[in-house]
Amino acid sequence: MLTQITLAVIASEGGNGGLLDVNPGLMIWTVITFIILLLILKKVAWKPILTALDKRESDIREALVQAEKAKEDARQILEQNQANLAKAEEESKKIIDQSRAYAETLKEQLIKESKEQAKKIVDDASLEIQRKKDTAFEELKGQIAEIAVTAAEKIIRESLDAQKSKQVIDKYLNDVTKN
C-alpha cells in the first residue's frame, strides 16, 4: 500500500517537473561540465598554483634556516670581535704601561746623567778656576817679586844696604803670601 502511494506521488510529480524529478540531460551536462572544468583547471590553475605554493613554502623554510644560520654566524663574529677588542685593549694597555715604565726609567736616567754631567762640569770649572787662580797667583807672585826687585834696586841705588833690604823684602813678601 505504501509503495503504491509513493509510486502514485512520484508519477504525478513527474508529470510537470517535481522537486525530486531527475533530468537525465542535466546529469549528462553536469558530468561533461565538471570533467572539462577539472581537466582545464588541473592544467591551467592547480598545477601552477600548487607548485608555486610548494615552492614558496620551501623557500620560506630555506630562508628561515639560512636566517638562523646567519644569526648564529653574526653571534659568533660578534663574540670574536668582542674578544679581539678585549685583547687589543689589553695589549694597548700593556704597551702604554711598558712605554710609561720605559719613559720613567729614561727620565730617571736622563736626570741622573744630566746631574752627573752638571756635577762634572762644575767640578771641571772649579778645577779650572783653581788652576787659573794658581797660575795667576804664580804670575802675580813673579811680577810682585820683579816689582820688588826693581824697587829694591832703586832703593839700593839710593844707597842702602841691598842685602839687608832684600831680607826685609822677603820677609814682607812672605807675609803677603800668608795672607
Question: Which string of x and - marks every residue 56-75 that binds other proteins (by CB under 8 A)?
Answer: x--x----------------
Closest distance of CB 31 from other proteins, Å: 6
Closer of 14 and 142 to other proteins (Cβ): 14
Q: Is 22 in the site for other proteins (CB under 8 A)?
A: yes
Which part of the chain contacts other proteins (CB under 8 A), choosing from 38-46, 75-83, 88-96, 166-174?
38-46
Closest distance of CB 70 from other proteins, Å: 21
Q: Is 17 in the site for other proteins (CB under 8 A)?
A: yes
Type of residue found at 169: I
| Locus of grid cell 610548494 | 54
d(CA 72, CA 80): 12
Closest distance of CB 82 from other proteins, Å: 38
Torsion of the alpha carbons at 150, 155, 159 and 162, rounded to the nearest 10: -70
Quote the radius of gyration of the chain (alpha carbons, Å): 67
Answer for which of 2, 14, 55, 155 binds other proteins (CB under 8 A) is 55
Q: Is 4 in the site for other proteins (CB under 8 A)?
A: yes
Closer of 44 and 136 to other proteins (Cβ): 44
Closer of 21 and 146 to other proteins (Cβ): 21
Q: Is 111 in the site for other proteins (CB under 8 A)?
A: no
Closest distance of CB 75 from other proteins, Å: 30
Can you give the chain as a three-state secondary structure string?
Answer: CHHHHHHHHHHHHHHCCCCCCCCHHHHHHHHHHHHHHHHHHHHHHHHHHHHHHHHHHHHHHHHHHHHHHHHHHHHHHHHHHHHHHHHHHHHHHHHHHHHHHHHHHHHHHHHHHHHHHHHHHHHHHHHHHHHHHHHHHHHHHHHHHHHHHHHHHHHHHCCCCHHHHHHHHHHHHHHHHHC
Residues forming contacts to other proteins in the complex (CB under 8 A) are 4-5, 7-9, 11-12, 15, 17, 19-31, 33-34, 36-38, 40-42, 44-50, 52-53, 55-56, 59
